[in-house]
Amino acid sequence: MVVCENLKNKLIIIAEHGERLAVEMYAYLKKQGFENIRIANDGAKVYEILRPYYSQPEQVGLIIVNESLPQCQVSNMCTTLASNENGHVIPFIILRSNSKNNIDEYKADLDSTYLNYSISLPINYSEFLIVLEFQLMMKHERFLRHQQEERLINELAERKVVDAKLKYLVVHDELTSLLNRENFERKLRLILNRSNLLKQDGALLFIDIDRFSLINELEGFEIGDRLLVDVVSVIRKLANKEGLLARIGSDEFCIFLENRSAKETKQFAEKIRKTIYDTRFFTTDICYSISVSIGISGVNTTTAIYHPSELTSRARQACNMAKENGRNIVWEYNENDNSVQQRRRDIYLVPLIKKALMEEKFFLVFQPVVDLKTGNISHFEVLTRMRGRDQEVINSSDFIPVAERMGLIHSIDLWVVNEAIDYLAELPAEMSHISLAINLSSVAFQDDSLLPAIKDKLELTWIEAKRLTFEITETAAVDNFEQTRELIMKIRALGCQFALDDFGAGFCSFNYLKIFPVDFVKIDGQFIRNLLNDETDQLLVKSMTEIAAKLGKKTIAEFVETPETISKLKEIGIDFGQGYVFGKPETTLLPEKSISIRNLVLGKPAQEKGENNKRSNESGCE
């Protein structure tokens, strides 16, 4: 049997009162390579040698002890040191004066708890060495097994801690220890069912910290987290365990109050708002005064609410209205709020818009823009329509704002540009003079793909760029002036033209008009509808016309609906007109209407139908 070198460095105690035998064993063990050997001539000396190893019992190898050692109860020593169940047992080799080995008194090595072995005197050193090495190996094996057991126990304990933490986090927020959204909704569903059954009132408060993202940006997330914990502490004290409190977003909290009237709920919400606003939150050397916006959605006996998400959604909408109306206020949910109506429109239209993009349910209509001097059709404005679930036609004024809010507008812009250019490319040669004005959304000029899309499409179809005019609203142009102006200049460099739509609606137009690179100015329809009866509108339209002319830009009047308005516009000096009096938006171009339009503008009497058809076939659309 070969003993590892590190085991030969372990402490071996020779507890023998016979000096000759002790020296003989010492010399033999040294010769076998054992380094750390101590001799004890009585039991007290054994314990004295062991005392320094109390904190490192793994360094002790074994004890060779004579059964007749003075001041020693060998059986007690074996029981104490050789039966330690913590893995640090000390094996014994007991020297006996008779020939009986392994007697019960000494708990022979067959007992799994003890590592004791007896040999007879005089010593047979061949047997002695085998027993000694065996005992050391058994001790080492037991120590390793104990280490494995301890490691496994620690791992299991750690896993239990992790499991317990995970179970806690499944239903609680880690930072604030509040209920998380899933657990909150689960508990709220039970409460709502009970409230509906017992006809009890209640209310949900949706609390949002105003401009919390600024604190994260200025101070970092650590300070933001500390602030959240402080806010929760304030709310906890006010709620006083009466309500169901949860964190459902980064800086959003919900409290459900049972058996509270609308008046009591409003008072409680105001108390939270005022207390937080009056509280000063300190972070290092900075003091913050923050505010919250609170939305309230009530549960009453007249209208049953069964799903938590519906109640939460209403409270969130009320909170959004509080923010829109100045923040740091309490707002109660109202079916007639603008945001409520807008959300309903979004819910209805968003799936239709996505479906229309995938299934090509958008289509174009065209409305003529007429030269008021000659009566000729200058070009056609392209408008977008969408088919609904029952193939009903939905106007762009209904779905475009929704598409802008929901991030779908860029796809629609690119679709319109592609379809309009393809339409021009498919026209017969005799209609190659027709040009189109394409409306672009308010965010189209923040889309980097717009310019290359126009350029690639023009190169692919060989359409002359001058046949395209892009329209952008005044409000959109002013909101992102520099970026919009730069992109317009690049598109104009391709040969396209631009029109500034809804001119005058923004009340800051003249300041930008002198440096904005557009070819046409479309005067907003609000100034045209009542032009004949409103001298103020006439004065404003005349001013816009004169300024645009001085800047070398053509003017277009929208919403022209009567022949009398045409005459007034010509008197003022407007260049072009557009409206139902010339024609409604149609799915196809109708150049045969050009004769009647020309007569209308020039004030000529209507021609006979046959003559009109003949002349329209000759003249076409100019």
Confidence of residue 497 (pLDDT cuts 50, 70, 90): very high
Intervals of CATH 3.30.70.270 along the chain: 181-334
Give whole-number Cα distances, 492 to 196, 438, 468, 486, in Å. Answer: 64, 14, 10, 10
What are the tens digits of pLDDT across the range 263-294? 889 999 999 999 999 988 877 677 888 899 99
pTM score above 0.95: no
According to the model, what pLDDT value does residue 84 have?
59
CB-based burial label for 91 (10 Å; 0-12, 13-18, 19+): buried
Give start-end residues of each CATH 3.40.50.2300 domain in the chain: 5-149
Q: What is the pLDDT of residues 368-405, one digit of tens each?
A: 999 999 989 999 999 999 998 888 999 988 999 899 88
Res. 222: pLDDT tops 80? yes
Residue 100 has pLDDT above 50, yes or no: no
Mean of all residue pLDDT scores within the chain: 84
- The per-residue DSSP string of 315-352 comes to HHHHHHHHHHTTSSSEEE--TTSHHHHHHHHHHHHHHH
CATH topology (fold) of 346-592:
TIM Barrel (3.20.20)
| pLDDT tens readout for residues 538-590 | 999 999 999 899 989 999 999 999 999 999 999 999 999 999 999 899 988 76
pLDDT at 149: 80
What pLDDT is recorded for position 622?
A: 32
> Mean pLDDT across the stretch 93-103?
66
Tell me: pLDDT of 110 over 60: no
SS3 221: helix
Q: How confident is the model at residue 111 (pLDDT cuts 50, 70, 90)?
A: very low
Question: Where does the chain hold its CATH 3.20.20.450 domain(s)?
Answer: 346-592
CA separation, residue 212 to residues 209, 231, 246 (Å): 6, 12, 18
Tell me what pLDDT residue 43 has. 87
Domain 5-149 in CATH: superfamily? Answer: Response regulator (3.40.50.2300)
Mean pLDDT of 187-199: 80
Ramachandran area for residue 200 (φ above 0: left; ψ -120 to 50: alpha; else beta): beta
DSSP string for residues in 57-70: GGGEEEEEEETT-T
- Which tokens sit at 343? 């959300």
Share above pLDDT 90 across residues of the chain, in percent, rounded to a whole number: 33
Residue 167 pLDDT class (50, 70, 90 cuts): low
Instruction: Give mean pLDDT, residues 27-33.
Output: 89
Full strand arrangement of the beta sheet holding 244-247: 244-247, 252-258, 202-209, 292-299, 330-332
Domain 181-334: state its class.
alpha beta
The continuous run of DSSP H or E covering 541 comes out as helix 535-550
How far lies 9's CA from each of 6, 26, 50, 136, 223, in Å? 5, 14, 15, 11, 56
Residue with tokens 């024609």: 583
Tokens representing 136 are: 């050391």
